[in-house]
Amino acid sequence: MNSRKALMLSVVIFTVFALFLASCGSGEQTPASGGGQQPGVAKKAALQKGDAAKGKDLYVQSCSACHGPDATGIKGLGKDMTTSEFVRTRTDEQLLEYTLKGRTPDDPLNTTGVAMPPKGGNPALTDQQIMDIIAHIRTLQK
Protein backbone atom coordinates (compact mmCIF):
# COMPACT_ATOMS: atom_id res chain seq x y z
CA MET A 1 0.00 0.00 0.00
CA ASN A 2 2.89 2.37 0.72
CA SER A 3 4.21 2.04 -2.84
CA ARG A 4 0.71 2.82 -4.15
CA LYS A 5 0.57 5.95 -1.98
CA ALA A 6 4.02 6.95 -3.16
CA LEU A 7 2.95 6.47 -6.78
CA MET A 8 -0.19 8.56 -6.27
CA LEU A 9 1.84 11.26 -4.53
CA SER A 10 4.28 11.27 -7.45
CA VAL A 11 1.41 11.61 -9.91
CA VAL A 12 -0.09 14.48 -7.92
CA ILE A 13 3.27 16.26 -7.68
CA PHE A 14 3.84 15.76 -11.42
CA THR A 15 0.35 17.10 -12.18
CA VAL A 16 0.82 20.19 -10.02
CA PHE A 17 4.22 20.82 -11.59
CA ALA A 18 2.83 20.35 -15.11
CA LEU A 19 -0.06 22.71 -14.40
CA PHE A 20 2.37 25.25 -12.96
CA LEU A 21 4.54 25.06 -16.07
CA ALA A 22 1.50 25.37 -18.32
CA SER A 23 0.45 28.54 -16.56
CA CYS A 24 3.88 30.13 -16.98
CA GLY A 25 3.28 31.31 -20.54
CA SER A 26 4.34 34.71 -21.76
CA GLY A 27 1.03 36.20 -20.68
CA GLU A 28 0.99 38.18 -23.91
CA GLN A 29 -2.49 38.26 -25.37
CA THR A 30 -3.82 39.98 -28.40
CA PRO A 31 -7.44 40.55 -29.41
CA ALA A 32 -6.90 38.35 -32.46
CA SER A 33 -5.82 35.41 -30.27
CA GLY A 34 -8.90 35.67 -28.09
CA GLY A 35 -6.97 37.25 -25.23
CA GLY A 36 -9.35 40.17 -24.79
CA GLN A 37 -11.68 39.52 -21.90
CA GLN A 38 -14.88 41.53 -22.14
CA PRO A 39 -17.50 41.58 -19.40
CA GLY A 40 -21.02 40.18 -19.62
CA VAL A 41 -22.84 39.57 -22.87
CA ALA A 42 -20.13 41.16 -25.01
CA LYS A 43 -17.73 38.47 -23.77
CA LYS A 44 -20.02 35.67 -24.96
CA ALA A 45 -20.57 37.36 -28.31
CA ALA A 46 -16.80 37.74 -28.81
CA LEU A 47 -16.18 33.99 -28.51
CA GLN A 48 -15.66 32.18 -31.75
CA LYS A 49 -15.99 28.51 -32.51
CA GLY A 50 -12.87 26.79 -31.25
CA ASP A 51 -9.87 26.03 -33.45
CA ALA A 52 -8.95 22.35 -32.95
CA ALA A 53 -5.40 22.84 -34.27
CA LYS A 54 -4.68 25.53 -31.67
CA GLY A 55 -6.52 23.50 -29.05
CA LYS A 56 -4.29 20.45 -29.52
CA ASP A 57 -1.18 22.20 -28.13
CA LEU A 58 -3.20 23.90 -25.39
CA TYR A 59 -4.71 20.54 -24.43
CA VAL A 60 -1.26 18.96 -24.10
CA GLN A 61 -0.06 21.87 -21.94
CA SER A 62 -3.11 22.18 -19.70
CA CYS A 63 -5.12 18.96 -19.69
CA SER A 64 -2.93 15.97 -20.50
CA ALA A 65 -1.43 15.68 -17.00
CA CYS A 66 -4.80 14.37 -15.77
CA HIS A 67 -6.64 13.29 -18.92
CA GLY A 68 -3.66 11.78 -20.76
CA PRO A 69 -1.99 12.90 -23.97
CA ASP A 70 -4.69 11.20 -26.05
CA ALA A 71 -7.58 12.18 -23.72
CA THR A 72 -8.24 8.55 -22.74
CA GLY A 73 -7.85 9.48 -19.08
CA ILE A 74 -5.48 8.65 -16.27
CA LYS A 75 -6.90 6.29 -13.66
CA GLY A 76 -7.48 8.06 -10.38
CA LEU A 77 -7.06 11.53 -11.91
CA GLY A 78 -8.97 12.47 -15.05
CA LYS A 79 -11.75 10.82 -16.99
CA ASP A 80 -11.57 9.45 -20.53
CA MET A 81 -12.94 12.26 -22.69
CA THR A 82 -12.93 10.23 -25.91
CA THR A 83 -15.93 8.19 -24.79
CA SER A 84 -17.42 10.56 -22.22
CA GLU A 85 -21.19 10.90 -22.34
CA PHE A 86 -20.79 14.10 -20.32
CA VAL A 87 -18.63 15.66 -23.05
CA ARG A 88 -20.76 14.24 -25.87
CA THR A 89 -24.05 15.57 -24.49
CA ARG A 90 -22.90 19.09 -23.62
CA THR A 91 -22.67 22.05 -25.96
CA ASP A 92 -19.35 23.82 -26.37
CA GLU A 93 -20.72 26.68 -24.27
CA GLN A 94 -21.76 24.28 -21.49
CA LEU A 95 -18.31 22.68 -21.50
CA LEU A 96 -16.76 26.15 -21.35
CA GLU A 97 -18.85 27.04 -18.29
CA TYR A 98 -17.97 23.71 -16.65
CA THR A 99 -14.26 24.22 -17.32
CA LEU A 100 -14.35 27.78 -15.99
CA LYS A 101 -15.91 26.61 -12.70
CA GLY A 102 -14.39 23.16 -12.29
CA ARG A 103 -15.78 20.53 -9.93
CA THR A 104 -14.93 19.80 -6.30
CA PRO A 105 -14.26 16.25 -5.08
CA ASP A 106 -17.38 16.35 -2.89
CA ASP A 107 -19.69 17.22 -5.81
CA PRO A 108 -22.17 14.33 -6.14
CA LEU A 109 -21.54 14.28 -9.91
CA ASN A 110 -17.80 13.86 -9.42
CA THR A 111 -17.15 10.16 -10.09
CA THR A 112 -13.37 10.26 -9.58
CA GLY A 113 -13.23 11.92 -6.16
CA VAL A 114 -10.50 14.18 -7.59
CA ALA A 115 -10.99 17.92 -8.05
CA MET A 116 -11.31 19.38 -11.53
CA PRO A 117 -9.82 22.81 -10.81
CA PRO A 118 -11.25 25.90 -12.50
CA LYS A 119 -9.71 26.28 -15.96
CA GLY A 120 -8.08 22.89 -15.44
CA GLY A 121 -5.69 24.52 -13.01
CA ASN A 122 -4.34 26.95 -15.61
CA PRO A 123 -5.68 30.41 -14.70
CA ALA A 124 -3.87 31.93 -17.71
CA LEU A 125 -6.26 30.25 -20.16
CA THR A 126 -8.68 32.61 -21.88
CA ASP A 127 -12.23 31.63 -22.70
CA GLN A 128 -11.29 31.45 -26.38
CA GLN A 129 -8.36 29.14 -25.65
CA ILE A 130 -10.71 26.86 -23.69
CA MET A 131 -13.03 26.86 -26.72
CA ASP A 132 -10.01 25.79 -28.82
CA ILE A 133 -9.33 22.94 -26.38
CA ILE A 134 -12.98 21.88 -26.56
CA ALA A 135 -12.77 21.84 -30.38
CA HIS A 136 -9.71 19.58 -30.12
CA ILE A 137 -11.45 17.23 -27.68
CA ARG A 138 -14.39 16.99 -30.10
CA THR A 139 -12.01 15.62 -32.74
CA LEU A 140 -11.02 12.81 -30.35
CA GLN A 141 -14.57 11.70 -29.52
CA LYS A 142 -15.36 8.13 -30.56
Instruction: Round to whole Å and give the CA distance between 18 and 21.
Output: 5
Instruction: Round to whole Å and give the CA distance between 87 and 10.
Output: 28
**More confident position, 134 or 1:** 134
Over residues 121-133, the pLDDT tens digits come to 999 999 999 999 9
Please state whether 74 falls in left (phi above 0), alpha (psi between -120 and 50) or beta: beta
What residue ranges define each of the domains in the chain, with the CATH number in brackets? 2-26+34-140 (1.10.760.10)
pLDDT at 33 over 90: no
Instruction: Round to whole Å and give the CA distance between 68 and 81.
Output: 9
Over residues 107-116, the pLDDT tens digits come to 998 988 999 9
Over residues 72-84, the pLDDT tens digits come to 999 999 999 999 9
This prediction's pTM: 0.69
